[in-house]
Chain A
Amino acid sequence: MYVSPIREPLVKGNKTYSQITQDIAAPIEGKPGKAWYMGLTISLSAMFFGLAMMGWTVWEGIGTWGLNRTIGWGWGITNFVWWVGIGHAGTFISAILLLFRQKWRTSINRSAEAMTIFAVMCAGLFPLIHMGRPLLAFFVFPYPNTRDLWVNFNSPLLWDVFAISTYLLVSLLFWYMGLIPDIGTMRDRVTSKAKKAIYGLLSFGWTGSVKHWQRHEKLSLILAGLAAPLVLSVHSIVSSDFATAIIPGWHTTIFPPYFVAGAIFSGFAMVLTLLIVTRKALNLENYITLAHIESMNKIIIATGSIVGIAYLTELFIAWYSGVEYEQYAFLNRATGPYWWAYAIMMTCNVISPQLLWFRKLRRNLLFTFILSIFINIGMWFERFVIIVTSLHRDYLPSSWSMYAPTLVEVGIFIGTLGLFFSCFLLFIRFFPVIAIAEVKTVLKSSGEKETKNESL
């Protein structure tokens, strides 16, 4: 096996196969610390607060939100797009990087995929609640009904229904199929009878037979091949929700690629936010190394720059189109009453990631962590800017209006954050956060162990 003399090892600390198993299983076998309980308590409280606000919305009606006749989409859709975008990094890591044979993905794909699933779950809640009557949500599916009507197949909002549900299901299958061998490992490690039974059930009877592995590899490869265009399609479709409308500021053909780049950008920021804490808390620094963080930072600077170019292109095209409504929409975005949101977006998404050109900063954990939070905030504001500034001053100046969220809307957003972090905390407690079997496959080709042996 060829070993690069320049690249850093993917697994540090001269691990053996058995040590890899031990290190990754340790957080599940040990007792969680105080920090974990505290985190879970806070997350669950946030989640229940959100649930109460959702309940209030459904009970009292959508009038509890700060929306009005001019601004029909506010925090709800902003959050929806934000969460879907965050999910994209997981699929990017597990599918696109697999197709490109990027071995460093093996240490981070499991947790990133889990993040995808939780983020898409949070995203899906928003359109559901936004309907006002979520009990009638099944109306969006084309089922034979007494009204003899079908759903509108020409509408991107319906494409969204198919895209998001397919995305959630395929991500879930992809993630769980990858988990089966590692749950098998857990089954063989745990000693308590009850745990053995549960992991045994969840491991689907995994034996590690060569034929099973052969099929498993094939399955992962083809699922990756399917998930790669899927992830690109999902955010393209989400962007079509806006791009097919004739609202100035939305009606642009640049939206699909611009949204996809933004989604991967924000997703990687969230992966970094989670993993920088997780690797420390679970003592996984030898597996999620500084080299991994640096690789992710490189993707952040690439996608962040694409996003920056997209912002500038939008401005240029608005001016170049000669359409006064389009020109006004962008002028209003940058200098109107929501200028502060536009400024936050520009600072967080365009200027701050450019600092990553410095290698020192790319490898600085504290800086990366703070930057990732900045990007999360910036990307949230990007969606807010696109939605609210485009809507609040429409073609008819007499109906111009302003928008501010109510406690209910803020509460629902906090609730989804709670749901997301609760799910993630439970996940790192009960499942291996790193794909054990996959890391073992890269140990010899890119771990420290073999490199050392060969130099002897």
Chain B
Amino acid sequence: MKRYISAYFTDEENLLRASKTLMEKNISILDVLTPFPVHGLDKVLGLKESNLPTVGFIAGGIGTLLAFGFQTWAFVIDYPLFIGGKPHFSVPAFIPITFEVTVLFAAIAMVFAFLFRSKLGLGAKNKIHDERITDDRFLIIIDAEKEESQFDEVKAILEQESAHDIQLKENN
């Protein structure tokens, strides 16, 4: 059994202010569901920066090494061919493919990392709290395990920012 408070906003600026106040009062916000990315919300909630760029950088690096290394190995060591009298180790000619493979690896790795970390994918069964949150509602979910006694305080903060449908819910 898990208890939580859910409330809806119709404007992202009210949501931002309410989240800020709640965070300042040390009330833990479990999740916020929004129809579009609300800028600054992640900072207010103190979310860590995403590591996706690192994933992209590493995967891209692997792509670079793999593509350049493979072309060098194939043309210098495995089967040196004379093509138009050019040197076997012709670096400029290897760059286009190296670049393309770098981009390919980085892009694929980041997309899969994103899907994996967010538990999204074909057939993912994530709970859909409310169908309106992909339309025009901003839903805030507040942990009520500890804050049960504070329900009125939380409600006051939320109401001040014109939230509606403030409810204490249980979830098993």
Interface presence of A273 (CB below 8 A):
no
- A122-179 residues with Cβ-Cβ distance < 8 A to B are 142, 148-150, 152-154, 156, 158-159, 162-163, 166, 169-170, 173-174, 177
CB-CB < 8 A to A184: which residues of B? 134
Task: Give complex CA distance A209, B123 in Å.
Answer: 18
Min CB distance, A116 to chain B, in Å? 14
A150 to B94: give the CA distance in the assembly, Å.
Answer: 14
Interfacial chain B residues near A214, Cβ < 8 Å: 37, 42, 47, 50
Of the residues B86, B103, B135, contact of A18 by C-beta under 8 Å: B135
Asked if residues A210 and B104 are in contact (CB atoms below 8 Å), the reply is: no
* B100–A207 CB distance below 8 A: no
Q: Which 3 A-B residue pairings sit nearest by Cβ, starting from the closest?
A: A205-B124, A17-B136, A188-B131
A213 an interface residue at 8 Å Cβ cutoff?
A: yes
Bound-state Cα–Cα, A214 to B37, Å: 7
Q: For the complex, is B74 an interface residue (Cβ under 8 Å from A)?
A: yes
Which listed residue, B32, B36, B75, B129, touches A437 by the CB 8 Å rule? Answer: B36
Contact mask for chain A residues 401-445; partner B; CB cutoff 8 A; 1 contact, 0 none: 000000000000000000000000000000000000110110000
Name the contact of B94 in the complex, choosing from A153, A211, A437 (C-beta under 8 A). Answer: A153
Q: Are A441 and B123 in contact (CB under 8 A)?
A: no
Looking at A18, A21, A162, the one whose CB has the most chain B CB atoms below 10 A away is A162
The listed residue (B56, B97, B108, B133) touching A162 by CB distance below 8 A is B97
Please judge, given known A-B contacts A189-B135, A215-B52, A223-B110, whether A153 and B97 are in contact too, CB under 8 Å.
Answer: yes
Is B22 interfacial (CB 8 A cutoff)?
A: no
B83–A166 CB distance below 8 A: no
- Least CB distance from A445 to B in Å reads 10
Q: How far is the CA of A106 from the CA of B24 in the complex (A)?
A: 34
* Distance, CA A180 to CA B71, complexed state (A): 37
Interface-central residue, B45, B50, B114, B127, by most chain A CB under 10 Å? B114
A222 and B36 contact, CB distance less than 8 A: no
Please report the C-alpha to C-alpha distance between residue A153 and residue B74 in the assembled complex, in whole angstroms: 9
Cross-chain contact A150 with B74 (CB below 8 angstroms): yes
Q: Which of B60, B125, B134 has the most CB of A within 10 A?
A: B134
- If A213-B38, A215-B114 touch, does A153 touch B71 (CB 8 Å cutoff)? yes
Q: How far is the CB of B164 from chain A (nearest CB, A)?
A: 15
Complex interface: chain A residues within 8 A of B124 (CB): 204-205
* A–B complex contacts, Cβ < 8 Å, 15 sampled: A21-B135, A154-B93, A166-B100, A174-B107, A204-B115, A207-B33, A207-B127, A208-B134, A213-B34, A213-B37, A215-B50, A222-B110, A226-B60, A230-B103, A441-B36
Chain B residues with a Cβ under 8 A of chain A: 31-39, 41-42, 45, 47, 50, 52-53, 56, 60, 70-71, 74-75, 78-79, 81, 83-84, 86, 90, 93-94, 96-97, 99-101, 103-104, 106-108, 110-111, 114-115, 117-129, 131-136
* A-chain residues with CB within 8 Å of residue B79 when the two chains form the complex: 148-150
- Other than the given A154-B83, A156-B96, A213-B41, 12 more pairs (CB < 8 A) read A154-B84, A154-B90, A158-B97, A177-B114, A201-B123, A205-B120, A205-B125, A208-B34, A208-B35, A212-B120, A217-B37, A227-B107
Please report the C-alpha to C-alpha distance between residue A223 and residue B112 in the assembled complex, in whole angstroms.
Answer: 13
Whether A216 sits at the interface, judged by CB under 8 Å, is yes
Within the complex, what minimum Cβ distance (angstroms) separates B17 from chain A?
15
Which residue numbers of A lie inside 8 Å of B, CB to CB? Answer: 16-18, 21, 142, 148-150, 152-154, 156, 158-159, 162-163, 166, 169-170, 173-174, 177, 180-181, 184-185, 187-189, 201, 204-219, 222-223, 226-227, 229-230, 233, 237, 240, 437-438, 440-441
B114 contact from A21, A187, A210, A216, Cβ within 8 A: A216
The residues of B that contact A153 with a CB separation of less than 8 Å are 71, 74-75, 93-94, 97
Shortest CB–CB separation between residue A20 and chain B, in angstroms? 8
Minimum CB–CB distance from A14 to chain B (whole Å) comes to: 15
Q: Which of A154, A185, A207 contacts B135 (CB 8 A)?
A: A185
